[in-house]
Structure 1
């Protein structure tokens, strides 16, 4: 990829901004005016453009529709008090998209193309970034196969796209979760670490069953014995037990390498909170719930940032967590992350890219 990337820009003739209610943003339902598009054919990425957001024209034989060769990412952009556009850790999202692509036999998008396409799209749609505290612009990069062919093989052509959505909070209140011990999200040697579309499709049915029972999300357990907590449906999950932050490691390839997860672990160490990256047994979690040593439980992810857990179901028994004081770690780390993202405090880690 050349250092100078030629990106054609065609702006919409009818912006949806005037009709958008920024006071009532349902997550992922309001789409901004434009999208970035690139095509892979003849062994290279080409034809880079920003164009009006519009439906795609797909052949019924499209390979992704039949064989699920698709990966995606999620990140957010914010505005500081000066009106500058701040994107949180896009380099980490680019690297993870590359890892997911390799696992799914998709040609990776070069780093400079990812960053330049993202920057150009942010320049065009900067007015879509909400100014309201707690709101942001959710960014969805994704790649999918575009061959029109029925047969089990990697596609020879692909499309890389980025579109955006102004959003508010993903969860409006603390969530209730259920430990899943029947269904499996991912197994060693599989695609659990990849942000692949099929991973989410396979999780929908068990999650729906849990929602019908009154729970917001599942706590997935290992595929072999359902003995250890891995992650939740939309986020990595963390527990503070006896003053130590415990979260599952990402070394087995069954857990997504969450960027918010990594950020929280970095800040926890700086705040002096001991961190243990290890698998927490379901029995250990239940014991901590029963004897009161579980101090906090929360999820971490781009959409939710920090999602406080208010109730956990283990072995068909509900445990309600006590209300946390405002100086609890999960509140402090959320406040710190938000301050970095909105440019309120110094970014000591180089996490912010200014457009």
Structure 2
């Protein structure tokens, strides 16, 4: 490895060393393909706590040449994560994808909330904030944390049920992080991601504003929405991140608090999915083919078994699409 320091520091020597390892790994396995690497999340915002992830975004030049290259890049990410002493999460995206309307949320996160570490800095070239397109994208982001647990797959059904109904924290402790006892420490990461992304989607949907991160989503939810779910959004952020720094707590009293928040999170998810369902039906009825296709795809990912209104709307869209293109 020729570099002895990153082009721009993360502000933490341990993280800088990890970034150098990531850079060297991509230089070795996919030389010349990384356009730039950026710092994301709380470390980019300057409000990291002990236990915060090292979140990176790696942009590939132009686009991925195919599935094989993307899988090779994923394998490099996974190898780096396994050897990292800090929980390392690397997001991959092709450069051209950042200029597509369907990725405006990712482009805005890079433009407004990330810091360059090495390679080219393309932030000034990225699209500006546009409320309608941003909301249409960010409203779907909770799906990724809802479907991440091992007990669920890429298709989830509304209403959701607990991941582990008999588990102490209903399965919200299954994301493991590095800790004093080793790399397999149960954490509150999944709970923080689930509640944070749900709050982000609801704030953006209601007010059409950009929400930069999960920390901002908690304060913006309280300031702008202030409904019965506000205590849950606040408490998950305060207890899981600010007090416990993500590992599941050890005392009986605090474990009882975590169990209560984990139980309430399911109701918050289903509250969101009721809203999501209605919005998706509105999109299906919009008459805009692009919006209709996106809504139909999403209703295949977040299903409503036995819901006659959803089933009728999907059948009507399918029939209209077939009539428009009988060879499809």
TM-score normalised to structure 1 length = 0.27
Larger relative contact order, structure 1 or 2 (CA cutoff 8 Å, min sep 6)? 1
TM-score normalised to structure 2 length = 0.28
